[in-house]
Amino acid sequence: MDNILNIISAIPLFNGLPDDQLGAIRQIAVEKQFNKGQTIFSEGDETKGFFVVVDGRVKIYKVSSEGKEQILHIFEAGQSFGEVTVFAGQQLPANAQTLAKSRLLLFPRSAFVGLVTANPSLALNLLAIMSKKLRQFAAQIENLSLKEIPARLASYLIYLAEEQGAGDAVTLNVSKGQLASLLGTIPETLSRIFAKLSGQI
């Protein structure tokens, strides 16, 4: 089993698939290297397929007409993004950019749709991943529209703890500015909240 196949077999989207299906997925995977700060795709681009992060971090974001950036999600190793447009055939609804030097796997649209059509177990895995992302985006909308910034931060830290399995400690792999954008605020406000929380410990 080559290195890429090992990586693919460990990705949640492909969890539990038999070796023949993993081999077919490996055949269509295209490895891509990106430097830090490099654009992967832009809002309005035609979808070429979806991506899996092998190494590094990728932010998905939108930019308002005033030039304000809103980070929608940050993906790390083992996580996939861009699946929805693969099946909808729509233009990409947001931008993607690397936050660090990154290695990604691209799964071209037509080839992947063919695999999903032929493999019900892969389709079920995909539905589970997309359902999880739908819940995450629903929670993000609730946070940004209904919660004050300290509550948004608390929700995000709880999410990180669950993702990292870290118990009482979490690792923040993003800058203060990136975290502020993700929470819909500015770095100065976030600094004041962290200072206040530190004083309560």
Q: Is residue 191 pLDDT above 50, yes or no?
A: yes
CATH number at 2-120: 2.60.120.10
Among 49, 135, 128, 141, residue whose Cα is nearest residue 87: 49
CA 85 distance to own-chain centroid: 14
**17-26, 45-54, 155-164: the lowest-pLDDT one:** 155-164
Mean pLDDT of the chain: 85
What's the pLDDT tens digit per position in 72-92? 889 999 888 988 788 777 789
Please give the Cα distance from 115 to 28 (Å, whole number): 10
pLDDT of residue 139: 76
Look up the pTM and report it: 0.73
pLDDT digits (tens, 9 = 90+) for 100-121: 999 999 999 999 989 888 888 8
- The model's pLDDT over 127-173, given as tens digits with 9 standing for 90+, comes to 887 777 777 777 777 777 767 888 888 888 887 787 777 666 778 87
pLDDT of residue 201: 52
Strand positions, DSSP E, the chain: 30-34, 39-41, 49-55, 58-63, 69-75, 80-81, 95-98, 102-108
Gap between the Cα atoms of 143 and 183, Å rounded: 8
Residue ranges per structural domain of the chain = 2-120, 147-199
